[in-house]
Chains A and B, each alone.
Chain A
Amino acid sequence: MRVFSGHKSQSTTILFFTLFKLSFIKAFQYRGYILVTLFSALLDVFVRISLWTALFRANPVVQNTTFHDMINYMALTGLLMLVQMSGVDDRLANRILQGSIATDLIRPYSLKLFIFAQTIGDNLAHFLLFVFPVYTGVLVLFGMRFPPTLLHGLVFVATVINGAVISFLYYYIIGMLPFWLESNWYVRFVNYAMFTLFAGAFVPIWFYPDFLIQISYYLPFRYITYEAVTFYLGRTGLPAMPAVLLRQWVWIGILLGLEVALWKAGQKKLTVYGG
């Protein structure tokens, strides 16, 4: 009997696209949610533009940064939320806390891939519905910059992809912590603080005091989207990029090793010691 058809990689791709499609179906189910989220995204952008307008009125150039730089920084960081894999941690953590991870273990799929596809699907739905219209609106309104050469563009894309991988692995590791911690709310709290501070989510790291900048080099957060954005804005030159890419790969290596080790230990805890 030919029950399970197709090549493994091919059917994995099909599963991936199915999950992708389902994220859209879910997102469109809640009309109220769409309206409220769109409204709050607009409000958020409006508040931040107002804030930067006020700050730059007194001083048109602060630390080599103009109002126009800031708007572009904000919009780019916003658009790159597409590759921010937040949501991965909750998906995994909830499975562990509620025990449904048990059923995942007996399904013939890779849980990592499953969660990745779900997250990317959700992100893309979110991106197309809210992020893209709002931030493209901002860029059209205030003027957008483009990479000077094709090479710049390609290096930018490579940096973003590396950042996405770092982000995914980081959140996946955070999501595994409930194997050992009974609750994960404080993890989320610390996590949020670290991201706000060291990923440059709201204020660019270049404004920070020197010791914070130094610390940021030893943490993975700035390698997720910050490096890509500063490069795009021309604050990091092309010659400095090989080092940035190298550092990203080092982080990918470290996180991947950590992830594999923790997953093994967590699985053992679950199946041998019973969670």
Chain B
Amino acid sequence: MSYINVENVVKEFKVVRREKGLINALKSLFHREYDIVTAVDHISFTIDKGELVGYIGPNGAGKSTTIKMLSGILVPTAGRITVDGVIPHQNRKENARRIGVVFGQRSSLEWDLPMEETFDLFQKIYRIDDRMYKRNVEFYVELFAMQSFLKRPVRQLSLGQKMRAEIAVALLHDPEILYLDEPTIGLDVVAKNHIRQFIKRINSEKKITLMLTTHDMDDIEQICDRIIMIDQGKLLYDGFLQNFKEKYGGEYTITVDFAYAEEGREVDPRLQLVSIEGQRKVYVAHRSVIETTEALRYFIDNFDVSHLNIREADIEDVVRNAYVKG
């Protein structure tokens, strides 16, 4: 049996149906109709100890719902979850000691307190003994380079600093599993990179099993070996990142603003024209067919181009692609 087992799990939510207009609003005071929304739809997977898994999908795919079920906050409508042999929602507090959870869009830090005091508070909450507490605070303050902002109240920290602090706090009690829900959301490129490096190091040095949800393709490329992809609550892919990329990734879009109307001129057939808007044309290509550098050079060498823009496929595109290919 694996460390984390998810078997045929379903999670449905009951949502009040709201109709437009005043009369309907009045009606809803007396009689309410509900819609059943299936957030997670018969999902199964297993995760072994020490793995680093990217759990990906577009917004609203059911990622956070899964994390909440794994951490015991939500009760599955059907199916079975065990984490190290324990059913999370039935043993919420016991499970809580073994896991660390960071919700990227929700802070668990006290706004008015400096990190020093917050660490202290979490020592008391998790009843961490002094030796382990000291060791971990030293380790994470160094790892996350937190020395410079330890004494400042949390409200004065930058978003990147806050995220580092959130992760450090979640790790203070030496959890065996760390769930990170959108840890890089809203961060700039540099801060994102930092967080990614930290996540990798935690996994390799502390041997913590890590599951991370994201809708940022770069997160996945740089951190994960294995990915599980869901959309609209259904599992689309579970396997190595390399295979995934070969199968679904590699698509990119080039937007070209031509200096003159290039009417009638043939463009390399490897670049597929998808839209025309005056002198602006948009092409789609695939890396396995033509590399991005080659495509750029092709336009610059052969045409009079005033502006070029290249965009790698993001998670939405990849998911769409995965859907089409099945």
| Interchain CB contact under 8 A, B73 and A106 | yes
- Provide the bound-state CA to CA distance between A4 and B129, in Å: 6
| Interchain CB contact under 8 A, B112 and A4 | no
| Interchain CB contact under 8 A, B121 and A103 | no
The distance from the CB of A27 to the nearest CB of chain B, in whole angstroms, is: 9
**Residue in chain A with minimal CB distance to B174:** A3
| Interchain CB contact under 8 A, B75 and A272 | yes
**Residue in chain B with minimal CB distance to A103:** B108
Q: A105-B72, A106-B95, A274-B11 are in contact. Are A4 and B126 (CB under 8 A)?
A: yes
**Residue in chain A with minimal CB distance to B37:** A274
Segment 101-131 of A: residues with Cβ below 8 Å from B: 102-103, 105-109
| Interchain CB contact under 8 A, A11 and B153 | no
Whether, in the assembled complex, A273 has its beta carbon less than 8 Å from a beta carbon of chain B, the answer is: yes
Whether, in the assembled complex, A236 has its beta carbon less than 8 Å from a beta carbon of chain B, the answer is: no
The distance from the CB of B114 to the nearest CB of chain A, in whole angstroms, is: 8
Determine the chain A residues whose CB is within 8 A of the CB of B39 once the complex forms. 274
Q: A106-B92, A106-B99, A273-B13 are in contact. Are A11 and B124 (CB under 8 A)?
A: yes
Whether, in the assembled complex, A258 has its beta carbon less than 8 Å from a beta carbon of chain B, the answer is: no
**Residue in chain A with minimal CB distance to B118:** A22
Whether, in the assembled complex, A64 has its beta carbon less than 8 Å from a beta carbon of chain B, the answer is: no
The distance from the CB of A86 to the nearest CB of chain B, in whole angstroms, is: 19
Determine the chain A residues whose CB is within 8 A of the CB of B121 once the complex forms. 18-19, 22
Whether, in the assembled complex, B110 has its beta carbon less than 8 Å from a beta carbon of chain A, the answer is: yes
Whether, in the assembled complex, B145 has its beta carbon less than 8 Å from a beta carbon of chain A, the answer is: no
**Number of interface residues, chain B, beta carbon within 8 A:** 39
- Provide the bound-state CA to CA distance between A29 and B127, in Å: 27
**Residue in chain B with minimal CB distance to A17:** B124
| Interchain CB contact under 8 A, A103 and B106 | yes
Whether, in the assembled complex, A250 has its beta carbon less than 8 Å from a beta carbon of chain B, the answer is: no
Segment 15-48 of A: residues with Cβ below 8 Å from B: 15, 18-19, 22, 25-26, 29
Contact string against B for A residues 232-275, beta-carbon threshold 8 Å, 1 for contact and 0 otherwise: 00000000000000000000000000000000000000111110
The distance from the CB of A78 to the nearest CB of chain B, in whole angstroms, is: 26
Whether, in the assembled complex, A6 has its beta carbon less than 8 Å from a beta carbon of chain B, the answer is: yes
Q: A3-B132, A5-B127, A14-B124 are in contact. Are A274 and B13 (CB under 8 A)?
A: yes
Determine the chain A residues whose CB is within 8 A of the CB of B96 once the complex forms. 106-108
Q: A4-B129, A105-B72 are in contact. Are A26 and B97 (CB under 8 A)?
A: no
Q: A18-B120, A29-B112, A29-B153 are in contact. Are A3 and B75 (CB under 8 A)?
A: no
- Provide the bound-state CA to CA distance between A244 and B99, in Å: 48
| Interchain CB contact under 8 A, A105 and B73 | yes
- Provide the bound-state CA to CA distance between A22 and B65, in Å: 33
Whether, in the assembled complex, B198 has its beta carbon less than 8 Å from a beta carbon of chain A, the answer is: no
Q: A272-B75, A273-B13 are in contact. Are A6 and B117 (CB under 8 A)?
A: no
| Interchain CB contact under 8 A, B74 and A26 | no
| Interchain CB contact under 8 A, B13 and A22 | no
Whether, in the assembled complex, A196 has its beta carbon less than 8 Å from a beta carbon of chain B, the answer is: no
Whether, in the assembled complex, A143 has its beta carbon less than 8 Å from a beta carbon of chain B, the answer is: no
- Provide the bound-state CA to CA distance between A109 and B11, in Å: 27
Segment 53-92 of A: residues with Cβ below 8 Å from B: none
The distance from the CB of B103 to the nearest CB of chain A, in whole angstroms, is: 7
The distance from the CB of B258 to the nearest CB of chain A, in whole angstroms, is: 49
- Provide the bound-state CA to CA distance between A2 and B127, in Å: 11
Determine the chain B residues whose CB is within 8 A of the CB of A2 once the complex forms. 129
Determine the chain B residues whose CB is within 8 A of the CB of A29 once the complex forms. 112, 153
Q: A2-B129, A18-B120, A108-B93 are in contact. Are A103 and B173 (CB under 8 A)?
A: no
Supply 13 further A-B pairs (C-beta < 8 A) apart from A106-B93, A272-B74, A272-B75: A4-B97, A5-B127, A5-B129, A14-B124, A15-B125, A18-B124, A22-B117, A100-B108, A102-B68, A103-B106, A103-B108, A106-B73, A274-B14
Q: Which 7 pairs across A and B sit closest by C-beta, in order of nearness?
A: A274-B13, A15-B124, A5-B129, A4-B127, A26-B112, A106-B96, A18-B124
24 A-B pairs in the complex with CB atoms less than 8 angstroms apart: A3-B128, A3-B132, A4-B127, A4-B128, A5-B127, A18-B124, A22-B113, A25-B117, A26-B113, A99-B106, A100-B108, A102-B73, A106-B73, A106-B96, A107-B125, A108-B93, A108-B96, A108-B97, A108-B125, A271-B73, A273-B13, A274-B13, A274-B14, A274-B39
